């Protein structure tokens, strides 16, 4: 159903988690994408997008067009319904990737447009959809991204700070991380919020949630939820359950019965 690619370029590996390609068809698809510190960007061809409070509808357009949209998954999941599948190239940016490649900042709305790429997208679609060779498709997309890359100020410092935040075994406070990376903590906090899209505390919550999900999916029925809870440094089971309900609206037991993963657990969805 989904052709998922992983970046091969060393620079892109730092900023792009996965890339996937849809081809236009009459098939319907409805799914929920769950919270993540990543920022997915969908590039669409000949499509109409309608956004409501609870659901984003995507359908084919008779009028030719090309455009991009981004999705904010920091606080809650997103429910999308494709009335027909359209030609789409989706890029799942890791933290800092969205700001580094679009020259925009994550926004606090569920779906928002990416206008910076509009004039370049038609040529990208022409190249990618002219071939069935996955390696060639990936090469076109990687070249497209590398041409858009502009390093952020203090990029190395921010990447190191995110690495330390993601290490839940240390549980460093932001002030401690600031000392370790050599930046004043107020400046570090401000730059992380601006370029990642959420504050450091929430970022750590998202990383812990996603790592626990991937761990459980990889281990399957062999892994008990209580073991996943403590392996990922949740204080106790009630807190583990509370965090899952805040981010997904479901208890962990129900969540894991409903989700499906694709591409080595790069994409985790509830298919409706």
Which one of 148, 171, 192 terminates a domain? Answer: 148
CATH no. for residue 171? 1.10.10.60
Q: Count structural domains, the chain.
A: 2
Task: Tell me which residue range forms the domain holding 41.
Answer: 3-148
Whether 1 has a pLDDT exceeding 80, the answer reads no
Let me know if residue 272 belongs to a domain: no
Instruction: Confirm whether 49 is domain-assigned.
Output: yes
Within this chain, do residues 68 and 172 fall inside the same structural domain, yes or no? no
Same domain, 126 and 218: no
Average pLDDT over residues 207-225: 90
Q: Report the predicted TM-score, pTM, of the whole model to 2 decimal places.
A: 0.93
Is 266 within a domain? no
Task: Tell whether 265 is covered by a domain.
Answer: no
Predicted confidence band of residue 168 (pLDDT cuts 50, 70, 90): confident
* Alpha-carbon distance values, 26 to 23, 65, 76, 79 (Å): 10, 18, 29, 19
Inside any domain, residue 264: no
Whether residue 4 has pLDDT greater than 80: yes
Domain assignment of residue 129, yes or no: yes
Instruction: Tell me if 40 sits within 8 A of 90, measured CB to CB.
Output: yes
Q: Is residue 227 part of a domain?
A: yes
30 and 141 in a common domain? yes
pLDDT of residue 176: 96
Q: Decide if 23 contacts 82 (C-beta within 8 A).
A: no
> Model confidence at 185, in pLDDT bands (50, 70, 90)?
very high
Query: Is residue 82 predicted with pLDDT exceeding 90?
Result: yes
Q: List pLDDT tens digits, range 90-142.
A: 999 999 999 999 989 998 888 999 999 999 999 999 999 999 999 999 999 99
Residue 198 and residue 104 in one domain: no
Q: Give me the pLDDT at residue 123, please.
A: 98
The pLDDT score that the predictor gives to residue 98 is: 96
Q: How many CB atoms lie within 10 A of CB 144?
A: 20
Asked whether residue 185 falls in the same domain as residue 164, the answer is: yes
Q: Which of 133, 148, 163 is the last residue of a domain?
A: 148
Please report, for the domain that includes residue 48, its CATH number: 2.60.120
The Cα 180–Cα 189 span in angstroms is 14
Residue at 64 is within a domain = yes
* 206 and 246 assigned to the same domain: yes
Same domain, 183 and 141: no
């Amino acid at each position: 159903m989904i052709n998922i690619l992983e970046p091969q370029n060393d620079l892109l590996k730092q900023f792009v988690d996965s890339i996937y390609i849809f081809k236009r068809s009459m098939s319907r698809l409805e799914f929920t994408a769950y919270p993540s510190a990543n920022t997915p960007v969908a590039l669409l061809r000949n499509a109409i997008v309608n956004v409501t409070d609870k659901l984003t509808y995507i359908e084919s357009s008779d009028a030719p067009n090309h455009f991009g949209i981004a999705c904010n998954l920091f606080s809650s999941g997103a429910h999308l319904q494709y009335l027909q599948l359209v030609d789409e190239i989706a890029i799942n940016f890791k933290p800092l990737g969205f700001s580094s490649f679009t020259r925009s900042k994550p926004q606090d709305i569920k779906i928002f447009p990416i206008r910076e790429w509009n004039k370049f997208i038609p040529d990208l679609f022409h190249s990618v959809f002219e071939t069935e060779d996955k390696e060639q498709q990936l090469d076109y997309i990687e070249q497209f991204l590398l041409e858009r890359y502009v390093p952020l100020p203090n990029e190395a410092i921010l990447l190191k700070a995110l690495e330390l935040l993601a290490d839940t075994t240390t549980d460093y406070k932001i002030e401690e991380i600031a000392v370790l990376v050599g930046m004043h903590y107020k400046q570090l906090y401000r730059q992380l919020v601006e370029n990642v899209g959420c504050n450091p505390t929430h970022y750590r919550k998202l990383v812990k949630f996603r790592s626990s999900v991937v761990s459980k999916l990889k281990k399957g029925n062999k892994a008990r939820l209580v073991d996943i809870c403590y392996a990922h440094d949740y204080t106790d089971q009630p807190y583990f359950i509370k965090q899952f309900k805040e981010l997904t609206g479901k208890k962990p037991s129900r969540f894991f019965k409903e989700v499906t993963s694709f591409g080595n657990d790069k994409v985790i969805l509830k298919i409706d």
